[in-house]
Amino acid sequence: MSQNLESCADSAEKEPLHFQLAVAPERTDRIQKLYEYVTSQPAGVDIERARYFTESYRKTEKYPQIIRRAKAFEHALDNMTIYILPGSLLMGGHACKPNYSPLAPDFSTDFIKNEIIGGNPFFLPERPSDKFQVDPMIIPELKDIAAYWDGKNHQAHVYALLPEEVLTAQDKIGVINDLNYVQGGDGHFAPPYKWHIEHGLSDVIKQAKEGLEKADPTTNEGLDKRSFYKAVIISCEAVIRWAHRYADLAEETAAKETDDKRKKELLNMAAVARKVPEFPAETYHEALQLVTFLQLAVQVEDNAQATCPGRFDQVMIDVYRRDIAANRLTYQTALELMENFFIMLSQVERVRSWVDTQFFRGKPIFQNLTIGGLDPKTGEDAANEMSMLILDAIQNTRTIQPSHYARWNEKSSMAYKKKVVETIRLGTGFPAVSNDRMYMEAMMNRGYSEEDAANYCIIGCAEPGPPGLRGGRTGAAWYSLAKCMELALYGGKDPNSGVCLLKNSNGKDLSSFTKYEELWESFIEQAKYYLRLHVILDQVIDKEYEEYIDEPFSAILACPETTLPRGKSIKKGGAKYDFTGNQTIGLAVVANSLYAVKTLVFDDKTISGAELLHALETDFTDMTTDPTGPMIQQMCLSVPKYGNDVDDVDFIARDALRMVCDEFPQYKNTRYGRGPIGGHFQASTTTVSSNTPFGKSVGATPDGRKAETPLSDGQSPFRGTDVLGPTAAVSSVSKLELKYLSEGSLYNLKLSPADLKD
């Protein structure tokens, strides 16, 4: 550990651990004004991306899809409105205003027609939450744009290819859902920003031109490579021109500026934008501006979430130390620039359909920034003074984006650990903490080298991957394990819709099971069937991404060291590692419910299966039965629950999740055998807020949960049922064989500040 890291922790050593509870953010005047300006701007929709993508696509039908994509991206960057935030030292934006979201009719027009134009179920400004401003003047143009894309957009392509049973499972039964990747882009990667800082887009263009020269046009592979390299050149040159537009704007603004200090800042910003991202960044300021430009530009191409800055303390430490040594920078000026960077990223918005919004409440853009961890070469602690600076920036900005993860391992210093804990105690939820030992073991189980596993960052919700090497889709379809369990209880028939896609092969339901093992076997049968439909849904989405939404800038931003030599995009197998993820919903509900049935019906014979099934069908409200519905609910609630260190129920959770972890890798994704290591599906327990909408499709369950109420999130205990404290809850979670959750393991532990007083 460096001497600077120790000195950064001095103040933490002198203060009692509870001091953070009353600490206000320490912001410079610049950062305070920037924060107030950006957070005061309402969220809105921006038509410009939709306009310019449509104009371009109308003119480029003769070109390969990847070149059409590049030309549309180019047209948008050349023409979109740009601005400079007042007082900011960094420039960039993905829409015409801060907190505005581009519209993406190339992905879906249903949302635009139904909600923005038609107000069904709400006009965007009238939503109960996640409201967006819409200028009425754009509606006529938006109607024309939607008419062009009808039948040509990603959602139309996907739905035309999906088997009917998959759509039924999603839209009627509610056991799987992938609207996020039907109505928007893929995202979910961590660019190797240290590589980009050292190379610049000029080197990417150089390599693409060399690849273009070498690609053999007499072969099918060579023709595809030529299209890829041409698209890369178009895209990178467009981003460079876009940066130069900002340089022009900074110079124009400086010419009108009366404050000499601000004039000098603007002229310096212009000089930086003329250099990066075209050429390598040599200073801390240049590096942050390069990352800002690339991070925001890709939002225009991909319209997705989870483009992640990666291990940002490792990205920035070298330029920081050089500037400190050359007296170009102080800790305080570096901190202010980092806080400025956070606010730049906090501008990013993505508007979703109201249905999809239920799965992503708030502002979950998932620009995850990771600190700490291990040096992949030496295996030693990699936390440094930049790690501490980033924690200070989190404490001072307290923005929702970027989101943050702190890696944690046995070699992490006490100074670093204390700083992480103090930052968490502010109550912002940041940083989340990832366990290096468990994540690395899980990754190596799936084929990562130890060195690459040691270099992981968090992508999206909680998914691990080494920056610059991980392709595929770390986020994929939601999968309600709790709904699979409910279907097993009802013989395979959905009690809400009346639809039955798969009958229990034993022909039984809860009223006729004679032993617990029959229920378990039916649950596994239903779970595996719907897991297969999950795979089909994701395969079709990825196939149509590859066919129509092949994105050249995302390819070289995410994995330049593999996509450029291979001459292929990520969706065609351009990454070193490639997996397709999953989000498993409702684990605690499954474990608690199955254990309740086992205990009440089969072990203790307190009630019959038929009595319990009737209670579930009537949502525990029938007062005419003996015992009554409320009495049966109390019996269900009284059975021990997952999260209290009770082996019998915890092991049901373990076995159910292990089945998911074992079953998914049996399926190969669309990139399997095309270059990357892996190429199969893998499991996670990341849920965001999806446990709430999925709960609406699940009736009352044997754990005592009422119908249509939220399910459990991640691998966390069900709310209010972990009654023996955090140690018991952590003990339960630790029994889940986490080494098999190679796509991410999410446990939310929430403590009231009142519980943490001395």
Other Cβ atoms closer than 10 A to 720: 9
Task: Give me the domains of the chain, ranges plus CATH numbers.
Answer: 41-161+193-301 (no CATH), 478-756 (3.20.70.20)
426, 393 Cβ separation under 8 angstroms: no
Cα–Cα distances in Å, from 345 out to 181, 273, 348, 357, 366?
22, 17, 6, 20, 11
Cα distance between residue 338 and residue 330, in whole Å: 12
Predicted confidence at residue 473, as pLDDT, reads 80
Alpha-carbon distance 596 to 601, whole Å?
A: 8
State the pLDDT at residue 14.
45
Low-confidence ranges of the chain (pLDDT < 70): 1-22, 753-758
pLDDT value at position 736?
Answer: 95
pLDDT in tens, 239-248: 999 999 999 9
Q: Which helix (H) or strand (E) holds 679?
A: strand 677-681
DSSP letter assigned to residue 600: I
Q: What is the pLDDT of residue 9?
A: 42
Q: At 56, is the secondary structure helix, strand, or coil?
A: helix
Q: Which residues of 554-591 are buried (b: 16+ CB within 10 A; e: fewer)?
A: bbbbbbbbbbbebbbbbbbbbbbbbbbbbbbbbbbbbb
Whether this prediction's pTM lies above 0.85 is answered by yes
d(CA 42, CA 333): 29
Q: Residue 23 is encoded by which pair of tokens?
A: 């600490």
C-alpha–C-alpha distance, residues 407 and 314, integer Å: 12
The whole-number pLDDT of residue 360 equals 77
Q: Residue 579 CA to chain centroid, in angstroms?
A: 15
Residue 134: the pLDDT is: 97
Residue 287, number of CB atoms within 10 A of its CB: 27
**How many CA atoms, within 13 angstroms, populate the side-chain half-sphere of residue 705?**
31
